[in-house]
Structure 1
């Protein structure tokens, strides 16, 4: 049962990484074409209703705070980081879905490199978002290592886990 739950967490994490990578690619691309002032205006417009109802709303205030701290040089760095991070994540997920085990070490190395950068960011500019992302990435790296060590391709884990979730066979 524990193994099946870890398989499920791994698969959900891979799907989340893929979706997160797509969002990062879209966000990074948008940042290349939007000025910091336009971004702040969009953030104000998107959060205005929520902040009028609850001026202390955490998410809305974080969005406004983040948008207000951007400047031209910082925006370009963030766009490049999001694009690079997103493309790498999407490439890893696609390669895992194609079904080659050779991708596992590369996936762990790429995520590990981003993890090192995130740890550095935690020490220089602590934030809850980076802390959560760092823990999530560490868990995904561990689960990827576990999968690689078990000598399984993602598609086999996917099939077995879906069978377990939807059919609940008598033997786990």
Structure 2
């Protein structure tokens, strides 16, 4: 049972990484074609109603604060970071879905590099969001290592886990 739950967490983590990668690429592209003033205007529009109801709303205030402190170089850095991070995540997810076990070590190295950057961010500018993301990435790296050591491809884990979730007999190995 524990093994199946870990398999499910791994698959959901890979799915989340793929969706997160898509959002990061879209956000990076959007940032490439906008100005800091336009971002601040959009942040003010998006948060205006919430801040009128609750001037101390944490998320709305963080959005406005972040947009207020962006400058052209900052936007370019964030856009480049989001694009790089998103493309790498999407490449990892696609490669895992294609089914080559050789991708697992590369995925762990790439995620480990981002993890090191996040640890640096935690030391220099601590935040709950980065801390949660760092723990999540560490768990995904560990689960990826577990899959690699078990000598399984993602599609094998997928088939067995889907069968387990829906209580069907697991398909036989090909």
TM-score tier by shorter-chain length is: over 0.9
Tell me the TM-score normalized by structure 1. 0.95
SS in 2 for 1:28: helix
Cα distance in 2, alignment partners of residues 36 and 128 from structure 1:
25
SS in 2 for 1:126: coil
Q: Deviations over 1:52-108 (max 9, x none)?
A: 112222211111111112111111111101000000000000000011100000000
What is the match of residue 69 of structure 1?
A: 69
Cα distance in 2, alignment partners of residues 140 and 61 from structure 1:
31
What is the match of residue 15 of structure 1?
A: 15
- Superposed CA RMSD: 1.3
What is the match of residue 117 of structure 1?
A: 117
Equivalent residue runs for 1:136-155 within 5 Å: 136-155=136-155
Equivalent residue runs for 1:48-87 within 5 Å: 48-87=48-87
Cα distance in 2, alignment partners of residues 168 and 56 from structure 1:
50
Equivalent residue runs for 1:29-44 within 5 Å: 29-44=29-44
Cα offset, 1:28, TM superposition: 0.6
The alignment covers a number of residue pairs equal to: 170
Runs of 4+ in 1 over 4 A off after TM superposition: none
Cα offset, 1:168, TM superposition: 5.9
Structure 2 stretches lacking a partner, 5+ long:
170-174
Tell me the TM-score normalized by structure 2. 0.94
What is the match of residue 172 of structure 2?
A: none
Structure 1 stretches lacking a partner, 5+ long:
none
SS in 1 for 2:152: coil
Cα distance in 2, alignment partners of residues 62 and 11 from structure 1:
31
Cα offset, 1:136, TM superposition: 0.7
